[in-house]
Amino acid sequence: MLRTSLGPLTLESCIYNASGPRTGSVDALGKIAASAAGAVLAKSATVAEQSGNDLPRTWQADKVASLNSEGLPNKGIGYYLAPDAVAAAGTKPYLVSLSGHNLADNLAMLTEAVAVEGVAGIELNLACPNVIGHPIIAYDFDQLRDVLTAVQAHAGLRASDKLFGIKMPPYFDGPHFEKAAAIINEFDCVHFVASINTIGNALVIDTEAEMPAIRPKNGFGGLSGPAVKYTALANVKKMRELLSPRIAVVGVGGIESGEDVFNMLLCGATAVQIGTCHWIEGPKCFDRITAELEALLQRKGYASVNDVRGKLREW
């Protein structure tokens, strides 16, 4: 019922985890694999291990929103490509996320990732708002084109049969959607676009302390959770309208229920990723949300998620 195809891959469920919370260790990846998740996606990696920004760097208001400025703490790409990490995903497609400090780092990590047989797919993160001194790549359209030009020319990726996609920041205005999609459409190496990453540079205040709730970047961090769900739906809908049909849209942002997944499917998502809810609830969220989606599909008389995709009705 939830089976879907993403580029060259078949996923037994269209629901899996977002890169970010609870994805940084072999142990965490194993727990995702043991749940109903349809794939296992690792934490965004840099070339070398790094500890990230100063603490406190996360804030949560359950059922409302979360804020983070972690600054990409991760164990380095070698860890996520090692046999232990690949094995943690078990029989599920294992995906890695690359978020290098610069294009050369991303290309070097791409070379390593395509060489590992057990890696089924690669997500290139063009949307991290939290690395101090580095603007969000996909808000700079010249840089977006330059990155994709270099990736497309990467001989290892061209020769590989792996899934390849990009993680995008949210856009908020028609011309920005159109420009981003038009650039992405030029590159046939892109199998999917995952929309959205956090809404960058939000600010939460601790009223008692009269201070920002988190320390890095004077309190500015990426907003996630239910508060961003509506922005995420709009981005999925717009990207689906504007991208070539050969490029799948993976919906991400504030999903916390089967109904939220259903709405993403209506807007044209081929699969969905869950970040904040996984962070708060743990990997059992994949079991709960799967059961909720199956019940909803059944109640509405749908046999498969493929029958729902893009079926949002018009007024």
- Catalytic status, residue 285: no
CB of 90 to ligand DHB, least distance (A): 25
Phi, psi of 185 (to 5 degrees): -60, -20
**Burial degree of 175 (CB within 10 A; 0-12, 13-18, 19+):** exposed
Positions that interact with ligand DHB (CB under 6 A) = 44, 52, 68-72, 99, 125, 127-130, 197-198, 222
C-beta of 24 vs 283, nearer to ligand DHB: 24
d(CA 215, CA 220): 8
C-beta of 13 vs 276, nearer to ligand DHB: 276
C-beta of 93 vs 129, nearer to ligand DHB: 129
Phi, psi of 266 (to 5 degrees): -55, -35
Bridge partners, residue 95, by sequence: 41, 121
C-beta of 137 vs 308, nearer to ligand DHB: 137
CB of 19 to ligand DHB, least distance (A): 7
C-beta of 36 vs 277, nearer to ligand DHB: 277
CB of 144 to ligand DHB, least distance (A): 15
How many angstroms separate the first and last alpha carbons of the chain? 28
Query: 155 and 186 in contact (C-beta within 8 Å)?
Result: no
**Burial degree of 28 (CB within 10 A; 0-12, 13-18, 19+):** buried
C-beta of 136 vs 247, nearer to ligand DHB: 136
CB of 158 to ligand DHB, least distance (A): 26
CB of 13 to ligand DHB, least distance (A): 23
Cα-based torsion angle of the residue sequence 299, 301, 306, 311 in order, rounded to the nearest 10 degrees: -90
Distances (CA, A) of 102 to 136, 150, 157, 222: 12, 12, 18, 20
CB of 123 to ligand DHB, least distance (A): 10
d(CA 18, CA 22): 9
For residue 247, whether the previous peptide bond is cis, meaning omega lies within 30 degrees of 0, is: no
Active-site option among 128, 267, 277, 285 = 128
HSE, side-chain direction, 13 A CA sphere, residue 178: 3
Phi, psi of 201 (to 5 degrees): 60, 50
**Residues designated as active site:** 128
